[in-house]
Structure 1
């Protein structure tokens, strides 16, 4: 599994700045041909680093309401269910789950209805407490900097280095730190698939 070189990082920076930027413009900036840029972007998608191309909108311009930041304390082991339920809400924009069973999210809701968003969630029994704060403004600015590719081995959890391997099974890409982890995972995957 090849890591990120300087050209990959520059392509990512350019895409973060404007995901609709033409490949020909990116190619000029990184001194490659447009097909070579396309191949690199496709590789970054194949390994799962680029998950999707999306639009970042200012929701406050679309619906009447107030922007809020909510911290939800959940019952132990239920944070993922609460997170999933909130992520499905049309009012919720960003959702984060912490390791200590908290869920933090931003949303735009009609005035005075912040609590209603929580009570409408199917997982209300999993919520112990919540705190709502009004947001003055937000800025979502993901950065690449000089980050190295650090996929996690799905078999053992180690970091996958340049010597690692990837396998596509049923359309999903899995990364492994070594051949042994890959073989063990694929064997178990096939065994479970046969039983279905």
Structure 2
């Protein structure tokens, strides 16, 4: 799909606030509401817009600790990647599971209420997953840049 300048401007507006109605977006782009809606629909149908997401503030909800875990699967036992992914995906504190190439097999983003809560999640949930070998934790101190437009 080829994007023109108006499509790119529309994407920037949607990244800033995906909840804006087509009429508001259209006014900012100099388009009518139906023309704006057709562009949004075309971007959705082409897979450029993969969905709209609500971003929650974890700290405001009582989750004051974010930890990035590097997980290396044990070579013994022959646990499949799918078994690990299915099991880790069932843990609500695990927000992101990324299969990576490098020192670790997976990188996880885990939220917890505090360090004691994180330790509980690590010991009782993550370390008991099928195939877990080595785990390295990095506690998030601050996040300066939020994901933005490509």
Which bin holds the TM-score, normalised by the shorter protein?
A: 0.7 to 0.9
Deviation at 1:10, TM superposition (A): 1.1
Q: Note the residue ranges of structure 1 that are not aligned, 5 or more in a row.
A: 145-196
The number of residues matched between the two structures is 140
Q: Distance in 1 between matches of 2:23 and 2:109?
A: 36
Deviation at 1:52, TM superposition (A): 1.3
Runs of 4+ in 1 over 3 A off after TM superposition: 75-81
1:94-113 map, 5 Å: 94-100=96-102, 102-109=105-112, 110-113=117-120
Relative contact order (C-alpha < 8 Å, sep 6+): which is higher?
Answer: 2
Residue from 82, 85, 107 that aligns with 2:84: 82
Deviation at 1:28, TM superposition (A): 1.8
Residue from 126, 132, 141 that aligns with 2:131: 126
Deviation at 1:87, TM superposition (A): 3.2
Over aligned residue pairs, what C-alpha RMSD do you find?
2.4
**What SS does the aligned partner of 1:142 have?**
coil
Q: Distance in 1 between matches of 2:83 and 2:47?
A: 24
Are residues 1:115 and 2:122 paired?
yes
The TM-score, its normalising length taken from structure 2, stands at 0.78
Cα offsets for 1:140-166 (capped at 9, x unmatched): 31312xxxxxxxxxxxxxxxxxxxxxx
Q: Note the residue ranges of structure 2 that are not aligned, 5 or more in a row.
A: none
The TM-score, its normalising length taken from structure 1, stands at 0.62
**What SS does the aligned partner of 1:53 have?**
coil
1:140-179 map, 5 Å: 140-144=146-150
Q: Distance in 2 between matches of 1:93 and 1:62?
A: 14
